[in-house]
Copies of this chain bind each other. A is one copy, B any other.
Amino acid sequence: MAFFVEGAKNVTELLLSDFNISHLLFTDRYLSEQPDLIERFEGEKIRTTAAELRRIGTFSSNEHALAVADIKPNLPVKIKPGELVLALDDVRDPGNLGTIIRIADWYGIEKILLSPETADLYNPKVLHASMGSFSRISFQYVDLAEKLAGLNLPVYGAFLEGDSLHDFNGQATGILLMGNESKGIRPELHTLISRKLTIPGFGAAESLNVAIATAVFCDNFRRLAN
């Protein structure tokens, strides 16, 4: 199974990653910007135009490149002691998933567990929103109830009614679990959660977008770990 990525940023990150890339389509402009990366690439190279890239891909404009690579096998993610790992329970919007991947990469989170109903990692909108960060993170689509039950690690769940994240000063490692855009974390996972945490609100908005909330949680956890 193959997927494709578009645009200078994502293609460059893909070329620098351990993905197996079969085809690289590039314009003269991308060649002038990344001559060494293109030179070193060992798959099939196709020189083309921005107009052609636009026809093939999903972007409204793509002046640079498009690459085709193999989807990685869905292998079990192994978690090291002292590591912080994200788990997403049915985050369905591709833009949210891509943004969360970029946030994870900013905060040095290397692994993400995804429930089967979470958006497809290889959806062009996910890859685009991730700004290349998808290439640096390991993913596993998995039954979260089963996976979390077998880990023996603390599981911190993001809720609208939990303990204040600002008061939390426990060990900021283990699993950070974020829920669906409208429904939150599924009830069947609640018994697996060590602690329910909430971003303190100071105004009248009812909630925050799940990608926004993920960033605030990661920031608070990384502040503690330092």
Interface residues, chain A, with chain B CB atoms under 8 Å away: 99, 102-110, 131-133, 136, 166, 199-209, 211-212, 215-216, 219-220, 222-223, 226
Contacts and interface: CB of A to CB of B under 8 A. Distances in A.
A3 B184 CA distance: 32
Nearest to A109: B203
A104 B132 CA distance: 28
B166 A205 contact: no
Given A136-B203, A202-B108, A222-B202, A208 B166 contact: no
A109 B205 CA distance: 11
User: How many copies, total?
Assistant: 2
Interface of A, helix, strand, loop or mixed by DSSP: loop
A35 B209 CA distance: 29
Residue in A109, A208, A212, A220 whose Cβ sees the most chain B Cβ within 10 Å: A212
B219 A105 contact: no
Nearest to A209: B99
A82 to B, nearest CB: 13
A101 to B, nearest CB: 9
